[in-house]
Amino acid sequence: MHALRNTIGICLLSFSVFNSAFAILPIEKLDSYNGAQAYLVQTKTLPMVDIEVSIDAGDRYDPVGKSGLADMTAALMNYGVRGSEGPLNEAQIADEIADLGANIGLSVSGERATLRIRSLSRKDLRDRAVRLAAAMLSAPTYDSKIVEREKQRTVTNLLEAETKPEFVLERRFKKSVYGNNPLANTPSTKSVAAVNAVDLKQFHKQFYRGDRMIVSIVGDVDRAQANEIVRALLQKVPESGPAIAKLPELQRSPVEPLAQREVQIPFDSQQAHIAMGMTAVTRSNPDYFPLLVGNYILGGGGFVSRLMAEVREKRGLAYSVFSYFAPGKDTGIFQAGLQTKNDQAVLALEVMSSTIAQFIADGPTPAELVAAKSNLMNGYPLRIDNNRKLLDNISSIAWNDLPLDTMDIWTKQVEAVTLEQVTKAFQKYLAMDRMQIVVLGASK
C-alpha cells in the first residue's frame, strides 16, 4: 500500500510538472517578413523542428466550375520546382526529402492551404529542407504532362469515393448547410477535368504571396534561427499582389423554420448514414468555450455523452454517435451524426433529434457540467504533449487572431463556464427547426 501511495504521488507530481511545462511555453511573435506574420515556440526536448506555412488559399477560392483547383495547386507543388540550384523534378524532390529524413506535406481545407515541414534541427539538414520548401512556395513548375496525369488520378479517386456512403453523405451535407456559398462546392470529375496547368499557375501567382501567409515554428531553434527560417522560406515569395475579389458572405441558417430540411438519398448500403447540422460560430466568438463544454456533454465526450447514452447504451441503435462544433476564422458549423441499420434509421434520427432538442432547451445538469470541465481540463496536457500538437495550437491561434496567451489560459476559460452560459449559447446558435438533415441509404 505504501508503494502504491508513492507511485500515485509520483504520477500526480509528474502530471503537474508535465502540465506546467507545456502550459507556460510562450508563443513569441517573430519579425514580420515579406508581408507575412510569424510565430515561435521553443522546445528543447528533441533535436527537431516543425514548421507550418498557412496560406489564405483554401477551397473557397475555387472558381465556378473548377472545384478542386485550390487542392491541385497545393498538391502539385512538390511535383516539380525551379530551385536555387536548378530545376528539380518529382523524383529528385522525393529523393531529397528521403535523404534528409524530413517530411514535407501539403493540404487544403475550406479556408486555407498549409505546407508543413518536419526536420532535424541540425542546421545543414534544416536549411536544405527549408530551401526545398521555399522553392515549392515560390516556384512550382506545374508541368502540363504531370498535371494531366494527376488529373486522371484524381478523377479515378473521385469515382471510387462516390461508391462510399461517407463521401456522398458529407458532400450532400455540405451543400445543404452552405447553400450557394463557395464552401458548399466539392470537386467533381467534371470540375477537375476543367482545370489545366495555366489555371494552377494563375491561382498560385494570385494567392501564394507573403501578405496571405502565416508561419508557425515549434522546436529546437532560438529566435534568431527562427527568423532566419522565415526569411529563407519567404525570400522569393512576392510580398503582395492585386486585390482579390471579396468572397460572398456566408448566409447563416435562417431565423425562420425551414420548409424542407430533410434530404433522403437512396444508396445501396447495409447501413443508413445520418448527418444533422447548421452553420454556427467562429473560433474567436466569445461563446466558443460555453459551446465547447456543452458539446462535450452532448456528443463530444464519447461514452460519457448524452447522445451515446440515449442512442447506443439505452437503445442499441448505433455503435457510435457524435456531435461537434468546427469553428474556423470566418465560418463555423455544428454537426451531429451516426450510422445505423436501414430499418432503424427513422427511430435513430428521432432519438438523436430529441436528445439534441432537449439539451438546447434545458442545458446540462450541474453534475454534467462539473464532470465535463474536469475531463477537458485534465485532458488538456494531451493536446500539447508533442511538437506537432503544439504546432496545431499555434497555427490555430495565429490563423484565428487569438491572444498569444490562449494556451496558458485555456483551462481557466473552460473552468469559468457556467450552466447559464452553456444554455444561452446553445439556444442562441442552434435550433432544431433550422437544422439540415441528410439521410443516406435508408428507406422509409
What residue ranges of the chain have pLDDT lower than 50? 1-23
Classified as helix, coil or strand, 399 is helix
59-79 tens-digit pLDDT: 999 999 999 999 999 999 999
Cβ 439 vs Cβ 338: under 8 Å: no
Q: How far apart are CA 331 and CA 309, in angstroms?
A: 30
Q: How does strand 436-440 pair with strand 271-279?
A: antiparallel
Q: How far apart are CA 142 and CA 81, in angstroms?
A: 8
- Predicted TM-score (pTM) of the model is 0.90
Say which residues have a Cβ less than 8 Å from residue 401's Cβ, sequence separation at least 6.
Answer: 284, 329
Phi, psi of 185 (to 5 degrees): -80, 140
Q: How does strand 213-219 pair with strand 37-42?
A: parallel
Q: How far apart are CA 342 and CA 273, in angstroms?
A: 9
Q: How far apart are CA 397 and CA 381, in angstroms?
A: 17
For the chain, which domains are there? 26-234 (3.30.830.10), 262-440 (3.30.830.10)
How many C-beta atoms surround the C-beta of residue 418 within 10 A?
A: 11
| Residue-level pLDDT at 8 | 35
Phi, psi of 359 (to 5 degrees): -65, -40
- Residue 119 Cα distances to 92, 222, 325, angstroms: 18, 15, 33
Q: How far apart are CA 46 and CA 219, in angstroms?
A: 8
